[in-house]
Amino acid sequence: MLLPCRLLSSVAPQRLWVGLGSRVTGSVNSLTSFRAINTSPKDASTPAVQHAEEENTSTEAAKLKKPKRAPFIKNLFLGRFDKSVLEFPEVLDQDQHELLHEMVVPIERYFLEQVDGPKIDRDAKIPEETLQGLKELGLFGQQIPQEYGGLGLGATEYARIAEITSLDGSIAVTLAAHQAIGLKGILICGTDAQKEKYLPQLACGDWTAAFCLTEPSSGSDAASIQTRATLSDDGKTWLINGSKIWISNGGFADLMTVFAKTTKILPSGEKKDKVTAFIVERSFGGVSSGPPEDKLGIRGSNTCEVFFDNTPVPAENVLGEVGGGFKVAMNILNSGRFSMGSSGAGMLKRLLSWSIDHAVNRKQFGNYLSEFAMIKEKFGRMSANIYAMESMAYLTAGILDGQEDPDCSVEAAIVKVFSSEGAWKWCSECLQVLGGLGYMKSYPFERYLRDARILLIFEGTNEILRLFIGLSGLQTAGGELREVVQKLRNPLMNPGFIIGKGIERFRQQKDNPKLDLDIAGHLHPTLQPSAQLLEYCVKRFQYSVEMVLAKHGQAVAAPKNQLDVARLADCAIDLYAMTAVLSRASRAYCIGLKNAAHEIQLASVFSAEAAERIKTRVRDLEIGPVQNHDDLYSRIADAVVENKGYVAEHPLTRTFW
């Protein structure tokens, strides 16, 4: 009887109704879970019209105006936890939801019935008719707005479709190279004329796009590219010269987003090289591509070198500003990564059910495999991991869809790192369940495993992304903690401050931070222990950020300090995962989804283990490089590098007889 009392005692905001009985969705500005519905048109004649209309217009206005929120993870580095994230996003309204689910059915059927994964892998080519089918399903224009002939999907819908397209790695990569990066530049910062000209052809799949950034001399370091664009004397055409490697779709793409160095003359007369992005049609001339590369996985996707030899590009085909290419590249890459979580999860879900199929039918030592605790543990852990992947992917997609001008670059990178590693690890474990069978080509596991390996490498290797996550957060934190860190680094000059800080940190040093964020108050009570853990981790994380900044100062970005940054990044990854699983499980339990109790179990076990990992990392940061063995490893590595190989003597070596 909680409800009526609450209603009576408070002049409840109208939205209260959304979160009946739970404190979670009860928080007022839940834009997402409110839907404006008109009652029958007849009502227009009744006196209550005004009331109804008022309400509808106000909710519609709320719907149109998305809330603007500060980036979640970046703020987390400052110990600020935005609790609105604990409200798992529901961005699709009823129509969109139904449309999406109608769309999913034929796509899924197509992938199960028409796509021959083993053949694509064997021939290292996606058959023309398969591509044609994908085009007919509209998969080449998923995020292109409807007015340009695309499907106009939001991030959430895109993530859902990615779950299915990931059933074949080659196709997923071909599609991603086309639209997640290839044409994304036009969507993000193209002019109207560019959109008008190119998007319709790209949406229907007549044209394929590619993204040309990587060069032989610059992989992760995008700013060091050598391809050069020079402006012709009349100022109307750019001439691009250079070569790009490992370009997905490079063999047949009709349109390429190419990054090249241009010379910019500063007001001072000084010349400076800056990266600029160009839209290049193959038909401009001077574009040639090498033979397709032979790869470990995603063999059906076309990857090759692309050469530009005096390719003329009209000036209006510059993407964004001249000299603003680096930003364009980062924007494109940052916006494409989030869907890897759902595609990884989609693939793993399929593999999980296949290996379970094997485990329940295979008997050894008188027991079915599914009865062995070691096999069961694999399934359990894998489920928890898939759950985290999915939750993070859709939470991020929800933020992208539901917020005004969202900054999700760090979140997207987190999703990418977590899910690519999960996909690789759990693919391998699924294969392990089948033992020798899994190793055979007649089963799909080895193919998926090979395909999954690329996830850790492309769109920014996981190492680079860890640095990106850590340093982005530290940058934000550094901006605000500037003075604090300055004082911390000069303790003798600021004795009063240090004593004050010491008292403040007393509890932190005892590993017993004060929990005052009330995260548990925003989740279902069942999840209270996990919420406490999350809160503990947030506090410890804040403490360790301060610690790392105080320890290294600005040198935190130096290559030798990467391990500490990576530790922070790993903490951030686990924190985001915990937040996502808890918010999703809480929502599921509150609204009574099927098997919601199971979700609670998944969320609890995942957050308990994530908290354990964070605890260890913070401890490692606390005790420093000597005790956490960073020093030792560094010295070993130095020796190995010096020796150009393994240093220790062979075990059979003797110094005397």
Q: What angle do CA 510, 512, 514 make, to 5 degrees?
A: 130
CA distance 318 to 535: 47
Catalytic residues, which ones?
A: 459
Q: Cβ(34)–Cβ(59) under 8 Å?
A: yes
Binders of other proteins among residues 3 to 22 (CB under 8 A) are 3-4, 7-8, 12, 14, 17, 20-21
User: Which candidate, 535, 534, 539, places its Cα nearest to that of 608?
Assistant: 534
> Among 185-193, 444-452, 519-527, 593-601, which window interacts with other proteins (CB under 8 A)?
593-601
Binders of other proteins among residues 367 to 396 (CB under 8 A) are 367-368, 370-371
> Among 38-46, 483-491, 529-537, 538-546, which window interacts with other proteins (CB under 8 A)?
38-46
Q: Cβ(143)–Cβ(179) under 8 Å?
A: yes
Look at phi and psi of residue 518 and say left if phi exceeds 0, alpha if psi is from -120 to 50, else beta: left
**How many CB atoms are located within 10 Å of the residue 394 CB?**
26
How many residues form the binding site for other proteins (CB under 8 A)?
A: 38
- DSSP result, 533-581: HHHHHHHHHHHHHHHHHHHHGGGGGSGGGHHHHHHHHHHHHHHHHHHHH
Q: Which residues pair with 304 in a beta bridge?
A: 247
Q: Is residue 593 part of the contact set for other proteins (CB under 8 A)?
A: yes
CB nearer to other proteins: give 365 or 656.
Answer: 365
Q: Is residue 39 part of the contact set for other proteins (CB under 8 A)?
A: yes
> Among 51-59, 175-183, 208-216, 644-652, which window interacts with other proteins (CB under 8 A)?
51-59
Question: In angstroms, what is the minimal distance from the CB of 47 to other proteins?
Answer: 4
CB nearer to other proteins: give 46 or 232.
Answer: 46
**E strands, 109-248, in order:** 209-212, 228-231, 237-248
CB nearer to other proteins: give 33 or 230.
Answer: 33
**How many CB atoms are located within 10 Å of the residue 310 CB?**
10
Positive or negative, the Cα torsion across 582, 586, 587, 589?
A: positive
Q: What angle do CA 272, 274, 279 make, to 5 degrees?
A: 145
Answer for which of 9, 42, 235, 626 binds other proteins (CB under 8 A) is 42
For residue 31, which amino acid is it?
A: L
Question: In angstroms, what is the minimal distance from the CB of 111 to other proteins?
Answer: 24
CB nearer to other proteins: give 214 or 370.
Answer: 370
Question: In angstroms, what is the minimal distance from the CB of 649 to other proteins?
Answer: 35
Answer for which of 28, 49, 493, 640 binds other proteins (CB under 8 A) is 49
Q: Is residue 595 part of the contact set for other proteins (CB under 8 A)?
A: yes
Question: In angstroms, what is the minimal distance from the CB of 591 to other proteins?
Answer: 5
CA distance 132 to 151: 17
Structure tokens at 417: 């790192």
Question: In angstroms, what is the minimal distance from the CB of 249 to other proteins?
Answer: 42
List, as own/partner pairs, every contact residues 372-375 make where C-beta atoms lie below 8 angstroms and the sequence separation is at least 24, other chains included. Answer: 375/433
Question: In angstroms, what is the minimal distance from the CB of 395 to other proteins?
Answer: 21
Answer for which of 9, 47, 270, 649 binds other proteins (CB under 8 A) is 47
CB nearer to other proteins: give 21 or 479.
Answer: 21
Helix spans in 42-149 (H): 49-64, 72-76, 94-113, 117-123, 128-136
Binders of other proteins among residues 204 to 233 (CB under 8 A) are none
Q: Is residue 656 part of the contact set for other proteins (CB under 8 A)?
A: no
Answer for which of 37, 64, 626, 652 binds other proteins (CB under 8 A) is 37
Question: In angstroms, what is the minimal distance from the CB of 8 to other proteins?
Answer: 7
CB nearer to other proteins: give 41 or 645.
Answer: 41
Helix spans in 337-372 (H): 339-361
End-to-end CA distance of the chain: 88
Q: Quick one: how many helices (H) and strands (E) in the chain?
A: 23, 10
CA distance 520 to 582: 10
Binders of other proteins among residues 407 to 446 (CB under 8 A) are none
CB nearer to other proteins: give 37 or 555.
Answer: 37
> Among 150-158, 175-183, 356-364, 383-391, which window interacts with other proteins (CB under 8 A)?
356-364
- β-pairing, 237-248 vs 228-231, is antiparallel
Question: In angstroms, what is the minimal distance from the CB of 63 to other proteins?
Answer: 13
Q: Is residue 52 part of the contact set for other proteins (CB under 8 A)?
A: yes
CA distance 625 to 632: 8
Q: Is residue 58 part of the contact set for other proteins (CB under 8 A)?
A: no
Question: In angstroms, what is the minimal distance from the CB of 403 to other proteins?
Answer: 23
CB nearer to other proteins: give 93 or 609.
Answer: 93
Answer for which of 104, 124, 315, 356 binds other proteins (CB under 8 A) is 356
Q: Cβ(296)–Cβ(450) under 8 Å?
A: yes
Q: Is residue 361 part of the contact set for other proteins (CB under 8 A)?
A: yes
Pattern of binders to other proteins over 563-592, x per CB under 8 A?
A: ----------------------------xx
Question: In angstroms, what is the minimal distance from the CB of 46 to other proteins?
Answer: 4
* CA 212 vs CA 171, 242, 282, 294, 547: distances in Å: 19, 11, 12, 19, 40
Phi, psi of 558 (to 5 degrees): -70, 150
Answer for which of 456, 498, 596, 605 binds other proteins (CB under 8 A) is 596
Q: Is residue 45 part of the contact set for other proteins (CB under 8 A)?
A: yes
CB nearer to other proteins: give 4 or 645.
Answer: 4
Question: In angstroms, what is the minimal distance from the CB of 20 to other proteins?
Answer: 5
CA distance 379 to 603: 15
CB nearer to other proteins: give 7 or 437.
Answer: 7
Answer for which of 113, 268, 365, 492 binds other proteins (CB under 8 A) is 365
CB nearer to other proteins: give 592 or 651.
Answer: 592
Positive or negative, the Cα torsion across 107, 108, 111, 114?
A: negative
CA distance 62 to 96: 18
Q: Is residue 508 part of the contact set for other proteins (CB under 8 A)?
A: no
Q: Which residues bind other proteins (CB under 8 A)?
A: 3-4, 7-8, 12, 14, 17, 20-21, 35, 37, 39-40, 42-43, 45-49, 51-52, 55, 356, 360-361, 365-368, 370-371, 591-596
